[in-house]
Structures are given as C-alpha cells and as structure tokens.
Amino acid sequence: MNLKNDLLLRAAKGETVERTPVWLMRQAGRILPEYRAVRNSVSGFIELAQTPELAAEVTIQPVDLLGVDAAIIFSDILVIPEAMGLPYEMVEKRGPWFPNVVSSAADLKKLRIADGVDDLSYVIEAIKITKKALNGRVPLIGFAGAPWTIFAYMIEGSGSKTFSKARAMLYTEPALSHQLLQMITDSTINYLKAQIAAGVNLVQLFDSWAGILPPNHYEEFSLKYISQICDAVTEVPKTVFAKGAFFAREQMGKLNCETIGLDWNMGIAESRKMIGANKTLQGNLDPAALYGSPKEVEAATVLMLDQFKGTRHIANLGHGVYPDINPEMVKVFIETVKAYR
C-alpha cells in the first residue's frame, strides 16, 4: 500500500522533505477525552490493549484529532515480560506492577523467549486492523522497550526512582543479568519482526531508564543489546530513544539505525556534533513547554526548529506528552511545526 503522507519515513532515511514531520511520544491515550471514553468502556488499560478493534481505534484518534504525521500502535512496552511468562497489572494512578519478579536463576528458568506472532497475537491483530483503517494516510510506528528498560521492570516489579534492585543485580549477578538481557533481546527481535510483517512502517526502541546507568554499565548491559536488535531488524527504519543517555551519544551515532531520539536535556548542536551528520535526530521540545500559552508554545517550538534547521529532523517532544496537557496546546505545537519553513 502506498502512503499518502510518507514524510516521516523520508525524514528517517535522510531524504528531502517539504517540511519537518511531527508526532508525539505517548500521543495515543492520556491527553484525549476521546481516549478516556473508550478506556472507560472496558475494565482498564490491559483489556483495552488486548482488544484489537479498540486498540486500533485509539491508535488512530491522534491522527484524526491532532493531525500528526504518524500513528503509533497502542500497546505498552511491558507486553514483552508478559509474553516471556511474567505478567503485569496496571494499577490505577500508580502504574505497572508485577506480582512475580526475577531474582534468581530459578526464576529465570521459568521464563521463555517470546514468539512475536503467537504470544502477542493481539498486538499483531491490532496492527493489521489499524493499517486497514488508516488506508495509507500516515505511516504506522511499531515499538518495543529496549532490553535494559524491560529488565529493570522485570527485576524491580514496578516503577521506581532508583531501580536499585535492578542496578544491584548488574553488580551482584552479571552473568544472570546477561542471560536475562539476551532472552529479552531475542524476544524483542521476534516481536519487532512480527510487527513489521503485520505492516508497521518504522520501529522505535524506548530505553526510558538509560539515564540511571553509569557509562560503562550502559555500554555493557544496554547498548550491546540495542545494537544486536538494530543489526537484526533490517526491514524498516529504526529509531533509538535512550532517555538520559547524554554520555552515550557518540556511541549511539555508530548504531545501525536511522534515527536517534533526543530528550530535552540534550543540547541540539552538541548532539549533532557527537552523533554525526548521518543520522536523523528526533525531538526534543521540553514536554513542560506545552503548559504555556499558545504564543509561548509557538515560540518554544520555533526556537527548537531553528536549531535543527537544514539538518535531518523529526519533530517530537523530548519525552512522552504529560497526561494533564491541554490537547489544544498539542495542536499549537503540531501546527507550528507544519507551518515552519
């Protein structure tokens, strides 16, 4: 199927574009009343994510309501632990919670490498329905968590400020850590390939907890596995977003991927220098900038665009959009990017 709007894919590959494409991390859900209406019709996030027709509906909402240049499939990074044998719950207002965690070799033995098609058939089905309904209007982005971030949740069992259990494991059980990271990596490659076979046009890896590792551990326990995934998944362009990994930008420039996501702490000119000219950069407006007035949101967006001007760029925030942001301000952000030349 030919895409009517392929700006995102062309920008990712470094081809010329008429204007900068724009989408938002975490655009599906959270901020839209239309999302909450669908979510309130079911028992909660997990039922919504596991009902392909509804997952497809909320995936497309931001395309219709906000005018973004891409859809991102509605799911979560934590479907991988579940598919490996470690189920999660989503606790209202608190976030993910795992009844069981991995703390020993015996726990590891109970896990398996996930097969993307069979173990995650509900995501694959949602992708197929979404592709049909989008009818080529915009590209569909698939995604997965980076192995380190998934590992952090599987060891910790929930969100955490420090992820100290997960980081302790890297020091006390490095061999066990590598075994689990390799299982997550193999599962993720299977999963991304299944997403691509079902129709996603680009994939993004979210390393949300990159920034809590020291540089040597980041290289050994995270980048090594991201690099394996980038080398294995060759069918579509790849984006690597490693939140807080300012210290690893030079190495990320050497990954076998097209796009590197920047968070809002990373200077744009400095990042370009470290990463090099041969990657597209994605980002990186401070998500809190959207709390401003329309004039302020526009000014902050232009300031960001000016710094990327003339280089390979996909406009986005520096992390996911905050749940209490007014959708009207998201529209100001998007419209400002679309009008910019």
- Least distance in Å: CB of 273 to ligand CP3? 26
Of 6, 35, 69, 153, the catalytic one is 153
Is there binding between residue 87 and ligand CP3 (CB under 6 A)?
Answer: no
286-294, long-range: CB < 8 A, 24+ apart: 286/317, 286/318, 287/317, 287/318, 287/319, 287/320, 287/321, 287/322, 287/325, 288/322, 290/317, 290/321, 290/322, 290/325, 290/326, 290/329, 290/330, 290/333, 291/325, 291/329, 292/329, 294/328, 294/329, 294/332
- CA distances (Å), 65 to each of 27, 51, 221, 243, in order? 11, 21, 40, 27
Q: Three-state SS for 158?
A: strand
Is there binding between residue 96 and ligand CP3 (CB under 6 A)?
Answer: yes
- Least distance in Å: CB of 221 to ligand CP3? 17
Residues 178-207 that bind ligand CP3 (CB under 6 A): 206
- Least distance in Å: CB of 45 to ligand CP3? 4
Does 76 qualify as catalytic in the annotation? yes
Residues 127-146 that bind ligand CP3 (CB under 6 A): 143
Of 6, 10, 35, 39, the catalytic one is 39
Q: Nearest CA to 7 among 84, 46, 15?
A: 15
Residue from 76, 89, 220, 296 that binds ligand CP3 (CB under 6 A)? 76
Nearer to ligand CP3 (CB atom), residue 28 or residue 66: 28
Angle between helices 164-172 and 147-156 (to 10 degrees): 100
Does 30 qualify as catalytic in the annotation? yes
**What's the sign of the alpha-carbon dihedral 189, 193, 196, 198?**
negative
Instruction: Say whether 27 counts as a known binding-site residue.
Output: yes
Residue from 7, 8, 9, 28 that binds ligand CP3 (CB under 6 A)? 28
Residue from 85, 159, 211, 294 that binds ligand CP3 (CB under 6 A)? 159
Is there binding between residue 113 and ligand CP3 (CB under 6 A)?
Answer: no
Cis peptide before 326 (omega within 30 of 0): no
Instruction: Say whether 312 counts as a known binding-site residue.
Output: no
Give the other-Cβ count within 10 Å of 218's Cβ: 23
- Pairwise CA distance, residues 201 & 194, whole Å: 12
Does 340 qualify as catalytic in the annotation? no
Nearer to ligand CP3 (CB atom), residue 208 or residue 227: 208
Cite the annotated binding site for substrate by residue number: 26-30, 76, 153, 208, 319
Enumerate binding residues for ligand CP3 (CB under 6 A).
25-30, 39, 45, 72, 74-78, 90, 95-96, 143, 159, 206, 208, 320
Catalytic residues: 26, 30, 39, 76, 153
